[in-house]
């Protein structure tokens, strides 16, 4: 029997509808949620993601502004732009599209974003708050995975979650969020010896290693929930995840496809966080 598909497009759409209602309520109170998207350089994939983010904002009535900077922009010039956005009343969320050109230090740039506008949840303060279980913006991809599990009725407490990948924006926070929901979490990565001996123990397997079709049937336990965070191109330039879907289908109880699984949730949760930022600003103004 085939695995049940966790449809990120459908779940994302349901969440976007409720975010759109919150936008409408804010507008009635005279506030239009605004997102600034900063894109540096000519990375084609980044340009597509940024365009999709802007379109998604428009679709639910939010304002978005693109700050498009050339590849040769210096770090200092970028920091000036961010400071300017930090001070703007009409901008509630700021995101700097990653990756940045090599001559710019991503950590320094991200740390410059005001924490109350850090809707990507990447700044050291946001990460620290998340680790402590304090209220903050959660990084959009892991946050989206948590929503996929919730909307699919998948129990987390008491389950063994195995993460393959240890990036700052997906693997590490993913483990923390699952831990906070009482999963037992194991972190693994591309250099873990005998990886299948770990992944085979997973009730929930999160593939976030960034290698096309890396997770095969030998990595997956019968009945596991398999979440594929990867976005890669295969040898035919076809979009694919980190999981070899054809092999794992039928072994997993549930699986996310690529495209149409985790990807759409990343933008959905960005909209969610931006509306949250605008609501918080309004609430603070009324105090
Ligand atoms: N500042 C950030 N930079 C990056 C992030 C991020 O969350 N914040 N994540 C990724 C890229 N990304 C968003 O920016 C992103 C990637 C993929 C998708 C998506 O919807 N994918 C679709 C397939 C799209 C396609 O056809 O190429 C899917 O999986 O269905 C959304 C957002 C790195 N940078």
Q: What is the DSSP letter of 191?
A: T
How far, in Å, is the centroid of ligand 1 from the Cα of 101? 17
Considering the domain architecture, whether residues 145 and 253 belong to the same structural domain is answered as yes
Considering the domain architecture, whether residues 155 and 255 belong to the same structural domain is answered as yes
Considering the domain architecture, whether residues 174 and 240 belong to the same structural domain is answered as yes
53 is catalytic: yes
pLDDT in 10s for each residue of the chain, 287 residues? 999 999 999 999 999 999 999 999 999 999 999 999 999 999 999 999 999 999 999 999 999 999 999 999 999 999 999 999 999 999 999 999 999 999 999 999 999 999 999 999 999 999 999 999 999 999 999 999 999 999 999 999 999 999 999 999 999 999 999 999 999 999 999 899 999 999 999 999 999 999 999 999 999 999 999 999 999 999 999 999 999 999 999 999 999 999 999 999 999 999 999 999 999 999 999 88
State residue 33's pLDDT score.
98
Structural domain containing residue 69: 29-120
Asked whether 3 and 249 are in contact (CB, 8 A), the reply is yes
Considering the domain architecture, whether residues 33 and 71 belong to the same structural domain is answered as yes
ipTM: 0.95
Considering the domain architecture, whether residues 46 and 150 belong to the same structural domain is answered as no
Considering the domain architecture, whether residues 46 and 93 belong to the same structural domain is answered as yes
| Residue owning the nearest CA to atom 5 of ligand 1 | 98
Q: Which residue ranges have their beta carbon within 6 Å of ligand 1?
A: 49, 95-98, 120, 140-141, 231, 239, 258-260, 263-264, 266-267
Considering the domain architecture, whether residues 112 and 151 belong to the same structural domain is answered as no
Distance of alpha carbon 124 from alpha carbon 110, whole angstroms: 8
Considering the domain architecture, whether residues 99 and 175 belong to the same structural domain is answered as no
Considering the domain architecture, whether residues 88 and 188 belong to the same structural domain is answered as no
Considering the domain architecture, whether residues 114 and 225 belong to the same structural domain is answered as no
pTM (two decimals): 0.97
State residue 287's pLDDT score.
85
How far, in Å, is the centroid of ligand 1 from the Cα of 231? 8
Considering the domain architecture, whether residues 87 and 155 belong to the same structural domain is answered as no
State residue 39's pLDDT score.
98
In a domain, 159, yes or no: yes
120 is catalytic: yes
The secondary structure of 68-131 as a DSSP string is EE-TT--HHHHHHHHHHHHT-TT--EEEE-SSPPTTS-HHHHHHHS-GGGBTT--SHHHHHHHH
For residue 93, give the H/E element and its range.
strand 93-96
How many domains is the chain partitioned into structurally? 2
In a domain, 189, yes or no: yes
How far, in Å, is the centroid of ligand 1 from the Cα of 29? 32
């Amino acid at each position: 029997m085939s695995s049940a598909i966790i449809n990120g497009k459908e779940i994302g759409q349901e969440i976007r509808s409720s975010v759109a209602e919150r936008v409408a309520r804010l507008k009635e109170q005279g506030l239009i949620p605004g997102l600034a998207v900063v894109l540096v350089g000519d990375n084609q994939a980044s340009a597509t993601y940024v365009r999709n983010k802007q379109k998604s904002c428009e679709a639910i009535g939010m304002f978005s502004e693109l700050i498009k900077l050339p590849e040769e922009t210096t770090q200092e010039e970028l920091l000036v732009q961010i400071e300017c956005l930090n001070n703007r009343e009409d901008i509630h969320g700021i995101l700097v599209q990653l990756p940045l050109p090599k001559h710019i230090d991503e950590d320094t740039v991200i740390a410059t974003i005001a924490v109350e506008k850090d809707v990507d949840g990447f700044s050291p303060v946001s990460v620290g708050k998340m680790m402590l279980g304090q209220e903050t913006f959660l990084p959009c991809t892991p946050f989206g995975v948590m929503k996929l599990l919730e909307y699919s009725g998948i129990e987390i407490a008491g389950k063994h979650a195995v993460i393959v990948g240890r990036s700052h924006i997906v693997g590490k926070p993913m483990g923390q969020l699952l831990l906070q929901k009482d999963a037992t979490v194991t972190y693994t990565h591309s250099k873990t010896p005998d990886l299948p001996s770990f992944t085979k123990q997973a009730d929930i397997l999160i593939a976030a290693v960034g290698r096309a079709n890396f997770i095969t049937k030998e990595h997956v336990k019968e009945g596991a929930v398999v979440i594929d965070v990867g976005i890669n191109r295969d040898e035919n330039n076809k979009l694919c995840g980190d999981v070899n879907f054809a092999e794992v289908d039928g072994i997993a109880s549930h699986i996310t496809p690529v495209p149409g699984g985790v990807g759409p949730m990343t933008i959905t949760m960005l909209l969610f966080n931006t509306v949250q930022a605008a609501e918080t600003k309004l609430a603070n103004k009324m105090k």
